[in-house]
Structure 1
């Protein structure tokens, strides 16, 4: 299981570094179907991977590439609802969780296929900043939704956070990626806290997956700056949709 963990960890981390979010949505299906980790352990295990690789990926942007106030507001709102999501997770059947995961992956893939430009939302300022006080209700609502999904499905939420920061809150793209990564770290920690009693997995396997993801996230971040953003998002969207179909098929046909 170590070799598959290294391979799939590299893929997830590389995608996270390339597109600044969204790679984490593949962590759960990669752990379940690629590495063979049970879903109950894959959800908290994916949060370890997502949080660690996002923390590494944000290091080059930590000084000038993060809007810390919004990151703390959105991330803080999510820490509360992450526990609610984890509570709902324990009440649902595995098939329902996998189908919900597939549905969210489809929504994320379709969103990435659309041509969207970060032209600023209602909270953006003419000089390129953000009036975070007027954005406070939107920021709290965004954090609450993403935090719930983090606890429910073990995703960092980058595929939701990036468009929310850029298009809803109006954060410039120069700050969106780094801010998103900080929020993912906060959400992952909150999700881990909510799943603390369920962390019964092979730490060697999860550690190998996380180590490969962290290394690949740095390499992906460097490569991503050289490739067209539109091409990256379209390619990733196609991959997400294919995995969503596979996850849904497995959920429907499994006994």
Structure 2
């Protein structure tokens, strides 16, 4: 069965909003994708909405990688460690999400949205070090952080289909 014209328009419009948010702020648009797919487009299964959101956000992120790489904004060693841990976390999160019924998943998603919104209102602790690189010298300190945070981000991404890395 093919979707109706209205459903297709709602899906395209919702995708445009998510893409615009991702393009403007580099993240956070994915937290809108699941509710838009569920309540605007009418995807009945939260699990399907989460999977669809994850794919759409992944494609958008991959498209944004090239200009960031050309601008010299990608720290490849850090990204590799973070990504490997994130993929493992996403696998664990997606397995866990399948064990939770759709309504409970949406309720938990709502709680996470409130927490994320609250965290975004707080002031950042610092600017960080834009020159930091993963090296043999700092790996004992930096690598556990990259792996731990990467796994946690992947876990949330796999469970809820959201990007918490931008918080």
TM-score where L is the length of structure 2:
0.85
Q: Of the candidates 90, 103, 118, which is equivalent to residue 111 of structure 2?
A: 103
The 1-side partners of 2:115 and 2:80 are apart by: 26
Per-residue Cα deviation, 1:105-161 (whole angstroms, up to 9, x for no partner): 1111112122326422xxx4xxx4115212100110001111111111112x2xx32
Gaps spanning 5+ residues in structure 1: where?
164-255
Per-residue Cα deviation, 1:166-217 (whole angstroms, up to 9, x for no partner): xxxxxxxxxxxxxxxxxxxxxxxxxxxxxxxxxxxxxxxxxxxxxxxxxxxx
The 2-side partners of 1:6 and 1:117 are apart by: 38
Provide the residue aligned with 2:54 in structure 1: 47
**Helix, strand or coil at the partner of 1:162:** coil
Q: Of the candidates 10, 18, 23, which is equivalent to residue 16 of structure 2?
A: 10
Q: Of the candidates 117, 130, 133, which is equivalent to residue 132 of structure 2?
A: 130
Q: Of the candidates 25, 29, 39, which is equivalent to residue 23 of structure 1?
A: 29
Gaps spanning 5+ residues in structure 2: where?
1-6
Provide the residue aligned with 1:225 in structure 2: none
Provide the residue aligned with 2:165 in structure 1: 161
Per-residue deviation, 1:103 = 1.2
Contact 2:109 2:160 in 1 (8 A): yes
The 2-side partners of 1:80 and 1:55 are apart by: 18
Provide the residue aligned with 2:101 in structure 1: 93
The 2-side partners of 1:15 and 1:110 are apart by: 18
Per-residue deviation, 1:2 = 0.8
Per-residue deviation, 1:27 = 0.7
Q: 1:19 to 1:117 in 2, by over 3 A?
A: farther
The 2-side partners of 1:144 and 1:79 are apart by: 7
Mapping of residues 226-245 of structure 1, within 5 Å = none
Provide the residue aligned with 1:69 in structure 2: 77
Per-residue deviation, 1:81 = 2.0
TM-score where L is the length of structure 1:
0.57
How many residue pairs were aligned? Answer: 154
Moved over 6 A (4+): none
Provide the residue aligned with 2:3 in structure 1: none
**Helix, strand or coil at the partner of 1:62:** helix
